[in-house]
Amino acid sequence: MSVLGDPQASTATVQAAPPSAHKRRRHWGRAVLPTYSWLVIAYLVFPIAIMIMYSFNKVVGGQPLVSFSWNGFTTEWYQKWSSVPGLTSAFWLSIRLAVVATIVATILGTLLAVALVRYHPPRFRGKTVVEQVLFLNIAAPEIVMGASLLGLFVTLNINRGFLTLVLAHVMFSIAYVTVTVRARMAGFDRALEEAAYDLGATPLVTFMRVTLPLIMPGVLAGALMAFALSIDDFVTSNFLSGTSVPFPVWVYGATRVGIPPQVFVFGAAIFTVGIGFAVLSIVISKKKV
Amino acid sequence: MTEPRSRGGWGKRLAPYLLSLPAGLWLLLLFIVPLGAMLVMSLETCSPATGACVMTWHWGELPSVVSLYRAQFLTSFYFAAAATLADLVISFPIAYWIAFHGGRRKNFFLLMLLVPFFVSFIIRTIVWEFVLSNNGVVLHTLKNFHLLPHGFHVLGTGFAVVAGLAYNYLPFTALPLYVALERIDYRILEAAYDLYATRRAGFLRVILPLTVPGIFAAFLLTFIPAFGDYVNQEILGGTANTMVGTVVQNQFLVNLDYAGGASLSAVLLAISLVGIFLYARLLGSRTIEQYL
């Protein structure tokens, strides 16, 4: 509490603040800040509105590529959503990749989180090292991780493709899953597990039927995080994709030649599904509490 | 926390290690080992013709890489610094407002802060290209109403890159700030006011010092990715003002000069590690978890 400066100040009991200070607070809080905040929110939403708007933009001229100018409203691109072969297959590849990476990262990350919550240094040597590696993994620049993985795969003569993408996506998702699960495990009542043991359950049965159901909200939150990280990843995937090109890498490649309007259709679809899941998880977490 | 009495002996004793083994091994083999290998590779010399690399312990290459790509390093630094500063300034008031005045709609506002993340990073950047382009809805309309001169353009300038970076990484700044502000005990502030602190003093001497860890986390989570970013520059910045990330990508994917790319990445990593170590020293590495 050194911020208060005078040590005696902190012992003062809370009394009614001078009314003038409160009034000015309220006034400021009521007028300027909310306006400003809504402007920031508008700024954050604005490009998304533009994306959805351009997914309805007509194309004039030969090639079906989006143009900067507005040419009129059409739902053509929603009807022809799958008519760009490379884009559609890249999208499905991204989905498969995200599903596989999420499953693996969620299992590994959850096990690690359980170990970190439950065991401490005398019984768990090297715990601090593990924690520092997780921190480094979250904070290190992605371009360096992607480049170094590419260097490793080239040195070991491993062909780039779906497998290397899975290896990398799991690598950068584990830390986020672990951190998320760990945060939600705070306040976990170990007596419930003790009770299961006392009633003769084996460790595996206890884990599957007592521990896992209890930590499930955290595990699901971690899985959503891993899925979002994987499906949006560009930098690492660009280094490691080789012949199997995920959605963001395909779109990036398309910026050089021109973007088919379907890219924005997929963007709008991913946005809608993502927001749906987010709202759903907020609603569920509210009901649980 | 005392562990339950020895139940199952070895299995029980090995439990923490067995639980962390799969994830630990994965991170060791695909995160730590590649970084180490990259550092080794940065000290090797490769022949461009055959691609064969020999260890030459070329420590001297690292500083020479920096001087060779000095312009790109500086550009990355300026752009990332400008974007981080802009993000801190833009997001502090809204984080403050949500933390202190969000009321029951806090979750909604937080979702709004995260809303850019629901659109792919690449698509977000492309959309900024549309927004900032000369014929796009915004500039075109402003020019039609003679609010901007006709020769005015943004795309292809450093300003466009900073704008793109600032937009893309804003949630990484806003969330840690929110978490830090939200944790402030309002009673401390009231105590300050009771003791006749002005609003200015209350902000500068109570709120700001208590948000410093959050500001540091925001800086770390925004500056490091922005520094290594090259997508915004390539899409919004045109051919000028190349950032160091572009060079790394080209070395690895176009020129296939792995040793050269490794040296550059090693320098990039070293720069980031300064911030990472400083953070871990001052605030502890685990505190970052609160801000994610």
Amino acid residing at B255:
N
For residue A39, give its domain range.
19-78
Identify how many contiguous H helices and E strands chain B contains and give both numbers: 14, 2
Cβ distance of A194 and B35 shorter than 8 Å: no
Predicted pLDDT at A28:
54
Torsion of CA A92, A109, A243, A64, to 10 degrees: 40
Residue B53 falls inside a structural domain: no
Predicted pLDDT at A242:
82
Q: Which of A3, A51, A168 sits opposite B210 (nearest CB)?
A: A3
A215 Cβ contact list (under 8 Å, min separation 6): A110, A114, A181, A184, A185, A188
Residue A271 falls inside a structural domain: no
Cα–Cα distances in Å, from B222 out to A176, B27, B213? Answer: 17, 23, 14
- Tell me the ipTM for this assembly: 0.86
Q: How far apart are CA B243 and CA B231, in angstroms?
A: 10
Cβ distance of B100 and A29 shorter than 8 Å: yes
Residue A5 falls inside a structural domain: no
pLDDT (tens digit per residue) in B167-185: 999 999 999 999 999 888 8
- Same domain for A234 and A133: yes
For residue B148, give its domain range.
62-291
Q: Which of B26, B97, B220 sits opposite A139 (nearest CB)?
A: B220
Predicted pLDDT at B199:
84
- Same domain for A31 and A92: no
Residue A82 token pair: 């799958």
| Helical (H) or strand (E) element with B44 | strand B44-46
Instruction: State the average pLDDT for chain B.
Output: 85
**Beta bridge pairs of residue B54:** B45
Of A40, A61, A78, the one marking the end of a domain is A78
Tell me how far the alpha carbon of residue B29 is from its chain's centroid.
Answer: 24
- Same domain for A64 and A171: no
Contact B76, B285 (CB under 8 A): no
Residue A276 falls inside a structural domain: no
Q: What CATH number corresponds to the domain at position B109? A: 1.10.3720.10
Predicted pLDDT at A12:
40
Of A35, A55, A78, the one marking the end of a domain is A78
- Same domain for A147 and A40: no
B256 Cβ contact list (under 8 Å, min separation 6): B51
If one counts every other C-beta atom within 10 angstroms of the C-beta of residue B104, the result is 6
Least confident of B144-148, B206-210, B232-236: B144-148
- Same domain for A122 and A51: no
Residue A265 falls inside a structural domain: no
Q: Is the pLDDT of residue B87 over 90?
A: yes
Looking at residue B103, the DSSP 8-state letter turns out to be G
- Same domain for A93 and A70: no
Q: How far apart are CA B95 and CA B181, in angstroms?
A: 7
Q: Is B235 on the interface with A (CB under 8 A)?
A: yes
- Same domain for A156 and A72: no
Higher pLDDT, B69 or A64: B69
Contact B121, A248 (CB under 8 A): yes
Q: How far apart are CA B143 and CA B153, in angstroms?
A: 10
Residue A13 falls inside a structural domain: no
Q: How far apart are CA A6 and CA A118, in angstroms?
A: 41
Q: How far apart are CA B269 and CA B39, in angstroms?
A: 10
Of A34, A62, A78, the one marking the end of a domain is A78
Q: Is B176 on the interface with A (CB under 8 A)?
A: no
- Same domain for A146 and A204: yes
Residue B1, helix vs strand vs coil? coil
Residue B203: is it exposed, middle or buried by C-beta count within 10 angstroms (0-12/13-18/19+)? middle
Q: What CATH number corresponds to the domain at position A167? A: 1.10.3720.10
**Beta bridge pairs of residue B55:** B44
- The domain tally of chain B equals 1
**Beta bridge pairs of residue B53:** B46
Residue B204 falls inside a structural domain: yes
- Same domain for A203 and A133: yes
Give first-to-last CA distance, chain A, whole Å: 32
Residue B45, helix vs strand vs coil? strand
Give first-to-last CA distance, chain B, whole Å: 27
* B132 contacts in chain A (CB < 8 Å): none
Amino acid residing at A211:
T
Predicted pLDDT at A288:
53
Residue B172 falls inside a structural domain: yes
Tens-level pLDDT at each residue, chain A (289 residues): 333 333 333 334 444 444 455 555 555 556 888 899 999 999 999 999 999 988 898 887 767 777 777 788 888 889 888 888 889 999 999 999 999 999 999 999 999 999 998 888 888 888 989 999 999 999 999 999 999 999 899 888 888 999 999 999 999 999 999 999 998 887 778 888 889 888 988 888 888 888 888 888 889 989 998 999 999 999 999 999 888 899 999 999 998 888 898 999 999 999 999 999 888 877 776 665 4
Q: How far apart are CA A180 and CA A214, in angstroms?
A: 14
- Packing angle, helices A212-232 and A162-185, rounded to 10: 140
The reported pTM is 0.85
Residue B104 falls inside a structural domain: yes
R_g of chain A, CA atoms, integer Å: 25
- Same domain for A117 and A234: yes
Residue B10 falls inside a structural domain: no
Residue B13 falls inside a structural domain: no
Q: Is the pLDDT of residue B101 over 80?
A: yes
Residue A58 falls inside a structural domain: yes
Q: What is the least distance, in Å, from the CA of A209 to any CA of chain B?
A: 17
DSSP A175-207: HHHHHHHHHHHTT--THHHHHHHHTT--HHHHI
Q: Is the pLDDT of residue B3 over 60?
A: no
- The domain tally of chain A equals 2
Residue B69 falls inside a structural domain: yes
- Same domain for A207 and A114: yes
**Best of A136, A165, A172, A215 to mutate (most B CBs within 10 Å, chain B):** A136
- Same domain for A162 and A229: yes
Tell me how far the alpha carbon of residue B193 is from its chain's centroid.
Answer: 36
Least confident of B12-16, B98-102, B245-249: B12-16
Residue A285 falls inside a structural domain: no
Residue B51 falls inside a structural domain: no
Q: How far apart are CA B245 and CA B121, in angstroms?
A: 16
Residue A270 falls inside a structural domain: no
